[in-house]
Structure 1
Amino acid sequence: MQRDTADSRTAVRGPGAAAHTSLPGNPLSPAAARRFVRLVLAEWAERGLLDRGLPDRGPAAPGLLTDRLVEDATLLASELVTNAVVHAGTDVELVCRLVETAGPEGADPVPEALVVEVSDRHPARPVRGEPHPTGEYGRGLHLVSTLAEAWGVSYRRGFKTVWFRIAATDSVAPDPADLCGAPPLWGAAPAAGMPLPSGGDDGGVRWGPSPGREPDSGWGSRGALSFLAEASDLLAGQFDEEKVAALAGQLLVPRLADWCAVWLDGEGGRGPGSAPRLARVWHASETRIEGLRAVLEKDPPALPDAALGWPVPWPWPVVSPVLENEPLVGDAFTASGDEPLLGGARASGNEPLVGEARPVSESEPLGGEGPDSEPYEEDGSALACRLFAGGRSVGTLLLGRAGLARIPDEVTALIEDFARRVALAVVSARQYTRQATTSLVLQRGLRPRSIASIPGVDTQVVYEPAGEGAWAGGDFYDIFQAGNGRWCFALGDVCGNGPEAAVVTGLVRPWLKLLAHEGYSVAGVLDRLNRMLVDDATQATEAAAAAVAAVAAVATAGAHPAGEVTQVRFLSLLHGELVPTEEAGGGLRCTLASAGHPLPLLLRPDGAVRPVAVPQVLLGVLEDTGYETESFVLEPGDTLLCVTDGVTERRSGRRQFDDGDGLAAALAGCAGLGAADIAERIRKAVHAFDELPPDDDLALLVLQAR
C-alpha cells in the first residue's frame, strides 16, 4: 500500500491508453462510473490492447482482461466515486489508464496494469478509511487497500485524487476476513431453501448454506460487494420513493432476511403530526405479509436519536403470553412496562414483549384473516436501522431473520451500507418528485387553459416538453379572440431552457394577448414586445457591469460579491391574425410575421407546399428593428403548419429533420388529411427520425380552413 501522499504517476510507467469522463456530484454518479469502467475495458479489449501476452509468461498467456479485474476495477471505482460524492459533494473526474511495458524487439507493448484515478474539487476534506460516527461513511479505502496492488492520494491545487493500481499478475483472491474484518458470511440461498443457522465457536450464530449447498466463502467479500453494487444500480434508477421502498424489500428478502419493513418519514421529518408511514412490508412467504403488517403498523420503531444510520437490535414481533396469560401485541416494554427494550431484551417469562398492550384471543394467529394465512414465527433476531442521509432522517428499515439468537456482525455492517444507499435513493426520489411537481405546475400555468375555436377553421395543437419530469421550458402557444372579428395565434420559443426560460414565457404570453386585445396590429405587437425585451437586456448588461466592477473591487481580498446577474434572453415568435373574408367562396385573411422563428408552411389541397413568411431578427436583439408582415388568403382546404425548432432541428447523428426541406416533404405527404391527422403524422415523423427521444421541447400548431 502506498503512502497517502503518493502520486499515481509513481505507479504509472511507460505508454498506454487512457480514458476520461466527468460525473456530477449526485447519487447517480457511482452507477455511471461502473458503466464507464466497463465500457472502457470493453473498448480496449475490442482494440486488442488487453489480450497481448503478459511479461515472462510467453505469447500464449492470457491478457490483462479477466473477470476478476473487471469486477475489482468496477467495484473500487464505484466506491471511490461514492466517497467523493458523499464527502466532497463536487463534480468528479474519473480517469482509466492502461500501463504497458515494452515487449520484445519489434513486438507490441505488453499490458502491465490498470490504474484508475478519481478526483474531486474539495481537497481540504480528508480521505476516510474508517467508518464515521454518523453512519453515512462506508468502508472507505479498506476495499482499495485489500483489492489493489497499490493505491495512494495526491493533492494538487484545487484537486484531490485517489488512485489505485491493479496489476496483470494479481490473481490471488484476498482473505474474506481481511476484507470484512469478520468471519465469512455464507452464500445466500434461493427462496425455496433458506440458509440454516449453524453454531459458532463464540456461541453466536453464523449463516450456513442450505441443505445440499456448498458454502460460498466469496460471499463474505465479493458476494457482499456485488450485492451492494447491484443494489446501487437498481436503486439509482428509481425516481419514486414507493418503488425505492418496494425494491429495498425485494433486495433484502430472502438473501439477507426472512422479512423486512420500510417506514418513510414525512417531507418535514419526524415531529408532531408527522408520524412515519409504513410504506412496504415484505416476507419470504407471501401468506405471512398481512399478519406481519398487522403487528408492525401499530407503532413504528422509535429509534434513539443517537442511532444515526447504523443498525441496532430490535425485539422480535411475536404474540407472547404474559400477565395472567393474556397475550399482548405492540411496542416493546420492560418487565415494569415503563421503557422500551432494545437488543433482544426479555421480560419475565424470557419472552420478548412487542406492541401496545391489548388482550387478544388465545386462538388469534399472527397472520392474515384468510384461510391461507399462517401464524408468524415465534423466535428470531431483528435489526432496526434509521435511513439517514443529508443530515436528516428519511425513514426506518426493520428486518428479521428467524431462528437466530443474533445477526452476525458482518451482516450488520452490510445492512448499514445498504441502508445508506436506500436513504440516498429516497432523497433523490423526493428531489425528483418535487422537481417534476414544480415543472407540472409551471407547465399548467404557462399553457393556456383553453384555445379559442375559430369559425371555419379546424385547429390542432401538439406540445411535448423534453424529457419525463422536465422543467417547464420556453416553448409556448396560444389561440385567442382579439375582438372586432379578429382571431390571433402565436407560437414562440424563448432562447434557453428551464425555469429561466419559463419566467420569460410567463411574461411574454400575457403581454402579447394584452397588446392584441388593445388593437395593435401584428407588426405593432412584435415591435412593442421587442422593445420590452431590449429594455430588459439593457438592465441585465448594467447589472453585469456592476458585478464585474464589484469583483475587481474585492479581488485583492479574495472575496466574492453576493447577488445574481440576470441573463440576457431572446425570443423567437410567430404571430398572426385571422379575419374572415367577405368573398362568396369563404376563407380567411391571414396576416403574420416571423421573428427569428421557423417559417410557417402552407399546404394546398393538391399537395403543393410553400413558406408564407420571411425570416426576421429575434425579439430582444436590436432596439430599432421594425417588423414586416405577410398577408394571404387561407382558402377552404388550405392548411397552415407552424412549428418550433424542436421539430426542425430534431437531430439524428449529424442530420436535422428539416435538412433538405424535410419538414416540407413530410407535410406534402399529408395532403387530404384533416388537421388532427396532419399534426399526429408530423409528430410521429419527428419521433421516428431518431431512436433517442427528443432533447428539446416539441410544439406544433395546425390551422386548416374548412
Structure 2
Amino acid sequence: MTTAVHRRLRLPADYRSPAAARAAVREVLVESGQSDLLDEALLLTTELSTNGVVHAGTDLDVDIAADERGVTVTVTDYRGGPIETNLLTPDETAEHGRGLLLVDQFATSWGTTHDPTGKGVWFRLERGGPPARTRYGQPTRPRPESPEAAATGPADALVWLVHVPEDLRQRLTLPQLLSELLLRLCEVIGAAGGAVYVDASDGRGQRMVARQGTAGLPVVEAPDGIAAPEAEPETAESAPSESVPLPLPRPLSGRIELHTAPDAALTESWHSLAQLSAERMTIAIENDRLRDMDRARRSWLTYLAEASELLAQSLDVELTLALVPQLVVPRLGEWCALHVLDEYGELSLAASTHADEGALPLLRRLLSGHDDEEITDRLTEAAHGDGVVALPRPAEGVAVPLIARGGVLGTLSVGRPPDRLHAPDDVTIISDIARRAALAIENARIHAERADVSQAFQRALLPSALPTADGVTFAAEYEPASTGTDVGGDFYDVLELGADQWLMCIGDVCGKGAQAAALTGVVRDVIRVLVRDGRPLGRIVELLNQTLLDQHDGYRYCTLAMAVVARAADGALEIELCLSGHDKPFLVRPGGGPDGGEVPNPEQVGECGTAVGLLPEVTVTPVKFRLAPGDALVFFTDGVTERRRGGTLFGHQRLRRELRGLAGAPAATIAGKLTDAVLSFTADPPRDDIAVLVLRNEPAAP
C-alpha cells in the first residue's frame, strides 16, 4: 500500500552528505511502499547532491515528498548564479557534466527553482508512467516492487553492493555504471571518495573512468570556472588511500583507489568488499570492451566493403592512386601517402593527403626523400619486405608494401592518429587496405595497357591521313562506341590508284573486339590488294565474300560501300559505286544559279547488294554517276542513323535535313558538323561506332 511521506533535511558541504541524502530517500521510498523506484531515485539523488557539494560548496537542503503516484526530490544549495542546463552528452572520460544529463534521461519530469538566497534542482519519478528508454533505444521492462530492497542485513548489503537491475544497467554508460558501483562501495565500507583507473593498453596510459567524492582527489575546475569546494581541502598527499587492483584480462589493467577522511577509518572487511566490487566492475568493463570490439569489427567490415566497392569502380590509374589516401584519412591516421616503383625500381610519391591541408606541403617534402634520408630508407625497407615498417618522426606512422599478383607495386604509408599510436587492429586494417588498393591499382594498369593496345590497333585499321589533290577533297570522322579495351568494327579507307583516280571504301564488320578487328584487317587488306590488281568492283566483292567464308566463322560478316573516283576532262568526277549490304550514300548538291537558288534535297544513290561473308553467292550492282563541281558524296555507317534517344532514332530523314543545311560546305565541315549533330542528339554515349566519309568536288576558284 502506498502512503504519503515527506522529509526535509539540511546537510553540510561534506563528502558524507550524498550518502546521507541517499539514506533519507531510501527511507522515504521504503516507508511509502515505492521500493521499485529506489534505484533511479538513489542514482539521481547522488548526482544532484554530489554536484551541490562539489560545485556550490554550501549547505544543502534536500526535500523528499512521496505520494501515491511517485516521489519528488529537490536539492537546493545557497550559491548564487544561474544553473547551466547543458544537455549535450559529455565526453566518456569527463569527470563532470552528467548531473542534469542523467536527470533528463531518467526522471519523469524535472526543473529548477530560484530564490534570492540560492537555487535548486528537482526531479520526479512516477510509477506506471511510459517506459524509460535504454541507451540502445529499446524500452525497458518494468520491475516489480521489491520490498526486500529496503533490507539492511549483511546479505542484502552485499546484493546491493554489486547488483544493478538490468533495466537500469542498460540505460547507463560504462562510466555511469562504474560511478554507481563505486559510490555503493564507498558507502558500504565508509570511504570518503575514490576513483577507478583503467589502462586500455592503447598508448594513453591509465585514465580515470569514474570517481566519487572529493577527498584525496585533485581539485578539478568545473565549467564556468567553478572550483571544487574549499570546505574539503584534502589532497592526494594528505588523505589516506588504499588501492585494489581490477582483475582485468591482459592487456588491460586497472585499479580502484579509495580515500578516507583524516578522522575516519574503513570497515574491517573493506578489502574483501572492495575485491568483490572490483570483480563486478571488471565484468562491466570486459562486457563493454567486448561490445565495443564487436561494434568495431562490424564497422571495419562495412568500411572494407565500401572501400573495395569504390576501388573496384575505378579503372583509371591516376584516379585509383588519388582515391586510396582519401579512403584512409582520417579514419586510420592523420595522413596517408602512396609511393609507386618506377621502371628503375625507385620509389616516387604518387599521391598523398593530410587531415590538415596546411601541413600537406611539408609532408610531401618529407616523403619525397629530399629532407629525411631515414624516412626514405624505411620506405625502401617496406617496399622490399613483406611486413609493417614503423616510420620515424616527424612523419611518425607505419608503411606497408603494395603487393598484387606476386609483384611489389610500391608502399602505402599512414601517419599515426593525433592522440595515440596505431593499435594492432589499425595495422591489420591498413595491411588489408594495402592489399585491396594494390589489386585495384594493378587492375587499372592492366586496363590502361589493354586500352592503349586497343587504341593502337584501332588506329592501325584506319588511314593515318587521307589523300589530297587539287579540286578533290576527302574528309572523315570516326567516333568509337568504346574508348576502353574494345576495338570497333567500323572502318573507312581512301586509296590513291593513280593520277586522278582513287578508291573510297567504308564498311561495318559485325561485332566488336579482337575477332571483329581481325576481320576488319582482312577486309581492308584484301580490298587493297584486289583493287591494285585491277579487279572490277563486282569481282572484288565476290572474292572478298569467298575469303570471309573461308574463315569458317558464320557469325561474322561485313557490309561494304566502295566507290572508284576518277576525274573527267570537264572537271566533273566520275563515280562507280558498289554497295554490299551497306546504306546508300547521300549525294548533296548546292543551290543552282549564280545566286545559289534553292538547295535541292540530298538524295541517296546506288543499288543495294548482299553483305559479304553470309552467303555462298553475292549479288551486287555497280552504279555509275557524276559529281559536278560543288557536289559532295557522303558515306556513313549505321551508327549514324541508329543513334537513339529513348524510342526515337536519328534516322535517314533527320540525316537528310542536316545534310541539306550543309550543302556547299567544305568536306571537313560536312563531316565534322554531321558527327556533332549525331552525338548531340542524345547525352548517352554512343552504342555503336559512328563513321562518316565525305568526298567533295571542289568548284573552280572564281
Structure 2 equivalent of residue 243 of structure 1: 319
Report the equivalent of 2:541.
526
Separation in 2, partners of 1:667, 1:304: 60
TM-score of the aligned structures, taking structure 2 as reference length: 0.53
2:381 to 302, 308, 311: 302
Partner of 1:622: 615
Which whole-Å CA distance do the structure 1 matches of 2:523 and 2:198 have between them?
A: 74
Looking at structure 2, the residues matched to 453 and 530 of structure 1 have their Cα atoms a distance apart, in angstroms, of: 31
**RMSD across aligned positions (CA):** 3.2
Please state if 1:577 is matched with 2:564: yes
> 1:595–1:251: structure 2 CA closer, same or farther, 3 Å change rule?
same
Q: 1 CA distance for matches of 2:366 and 2:383?
A: 27
Report whether the alignment pairs 1:291 with 2:366: yes
Residue 621 of structure 2 aligns with an amino acid whose one-letter code is E
The structure richer in helix per residue is: 2
Deviation at 1:501, TM superposition (A): 0.8
1:260-271 to structure 2, matched below 5 A, reads 260-265=336-341
Paired AA for residue 379 in structure 2: P
Q: In structure 1, how many angstroms separate the alpha carbons of the residues matched to 2:456 and 2:411?
A: 31
Contact 1:301–1:384 (8 Å) recurs in 2 = no
* 2:693 maps to 1:685: no
Q: CA deviation at 1:405?
A: 6.3
Letter in 1 for 2:615: L
Find the residue that maps to 1:458 and give its secondary structure: strand
Tell me if 1:314 matches 2:389. Answer: yes
SS of the residue corresponding to residue 464 of structure 2 reads coil
One-letter amino acid matched to 2:569: E
How do residues 514-553 of structure 1 correspond to structure 2 at under 5 angstroms?
Answer: 514-537=529-552, 540=553
Aligned counterpart for 1:280 among listed residues 351, 354, 358: 351
- What is the DSSP-based 3-state SS (H/G/I as helix, E as strand, rest coil) of the residue aligned with 2:687? coil
CA drift at 1:230: 4.6
SS state of the match for residue 384, structure 1? Answer: strand
Matched with 1:138 is none
CA contact (8 A) 1:200 1:206 kept: no
Once residues 537 and 378 of structure 2 are traced to their aligned partners in structure 1, the CA distance between those partners, rounded to angstroms, is 66
Query: Which of 475, 478, 483 is the matching residue for 1:468?
Result: 483
> Given the alignment of the two structures, is residue 511 of structure 1 paired with residue 544 of structure 2, yes or no?
no
SS in 2 for 1:394: strand
Query: Counterpart in 2 of 1:664?
Result: 656
The verdict on how the C-alpha distance between 1:391 and 1:206 changes in structure 2, with shifts beyond 3 A counting, is: farther
Q: Is 1:643 aligned to residue 640 of structure 2? A: no
Q: Distance in 2 between matches of 1:254 and 1:405?
A: 13
Q: Which amino acid aligns with 1:512?
A: I
AA matched with 1:649:
E
> What secondary structure is seen at the aligned counterpart in 2 of 1:232?
helix
Q: Determine the C-alpha separation between the residues in 1 that align with 2:471 and 2:536.
A: 22
Quote how far apart the aligned CAs of 1:403 are: 5.9
Q: What displacement does 1:490 show?
A: 0.5
> Quick one: which of 678, 686, 703 aligns to 2:695?
703
Partners of 1:644 and 1:587 lie apart in 2 by: 26
What is the DSSP-based 3-state SS (H/G/I as helix, E as strand, rest coil) of the residue aligned with 1:302? Answer: helix
Structure 2 residue identity aligned to 1:251: L
Q: Contact conserved, 1:244 with 1:425, CA < 8 A, in 2?
A: yes
Of residues 410, 419, 429, the one that matches 1:395 is 410
Equivalent residues of 2:379, 2:399 under 8 A apart: no
Question: TM-score by structure 1 length?
Answer: 0.53
Structure 1 partner of 2:606? 613
Name structure 2 gaps, 5 residues minimum: 1-169, 175-196, 208-222, 224-290, 591-598
> What is the deviation of 1:416?
3.3
- Superposed displacement of residue 572, structure 1: 0.8
Q: Name the aligned partner's letter for residue 239 of structure 1.
A: L
Tell me, in whole angstroms, the C-alpha distance in 2 between the residues paired with 1:629 and 1:437. 39
CA 595–535 in structure 1, closer or farther in 2 if over 3 Å, else same: same
Cα deviation, residue 389, structure 1: 3.7
1:65 aligned partner: none
Q: Which residue of 1 aligns with 2:272?
A: none
How many correspondences in the alignment?
Answer: 405
Distance 1:304 1:580 in 2: 67
Q: Which residue of 2 aligns with 1:502?
A: 517
Match of 1:631 in 2: 624
SS in 1 for 2:368: helix
Q: Which moved more, 1:607-616 or 1:255-264?
A: 255-264
Give the counterpart of 1:220 among 266, 291, 296: 296
Shift of 1:402: 5.8
1:331-390 per-residue CA deviation (whole Å, 9 max, x = no partner) reads xxxxxxxxxxxxxxxxxxxxxxxxxxxxxxxxxxxxxxxxxxxxx36xx4x223233344
Instruction: Name the residue aligned to 1:448.
Output: 463
1:145-175 alpha-carbon deviations (Å, 9 max, x no partner): xxxxxxxxxxxxxxxxxxxxxxxxxxxx9xx
- Quote how far apart the aligned CAs of 1:684 are: 1.7
Contact residue 608 and residue 620 of structure 2 kept, 8 A: no
Corresponding letter in the other structure for 2:586 = L
Structure 1: gaps spanning 5 or more residues: 1-172, 178-198, 268-272, 319-375, 541-566
Contact 1:205 1:404 in 2 (8 A): no
Instruction: Give the drift of 1:206.
Output: 6.8
* Whole-angstrom CA distance in 1 between matches of 2:204 and 2:296: 11
SS of the residue corresponding to residue 254 of structure 1 reads coil
**Which aligned pairs between 1:311-460 and structure 2 lie closer than 5 A?**
312-318=387-393, 376=394, 380=396, 382-401=397-416, 406-460=421-475
Q: Is the 8 A contact 1:483 1:517 kept in 2?
A: no
- Deviation at 1:304? 9.1
Partner-residue secondary structure (3-state), 1:536: coil
Partner of 2:251: none
Q: Give the Cα–Cα distance (whole angstroms) in 2 for the partners of residues 608 and 587 of structure 1.
A: 20
Distance 1:526 1:449 in 2: 25
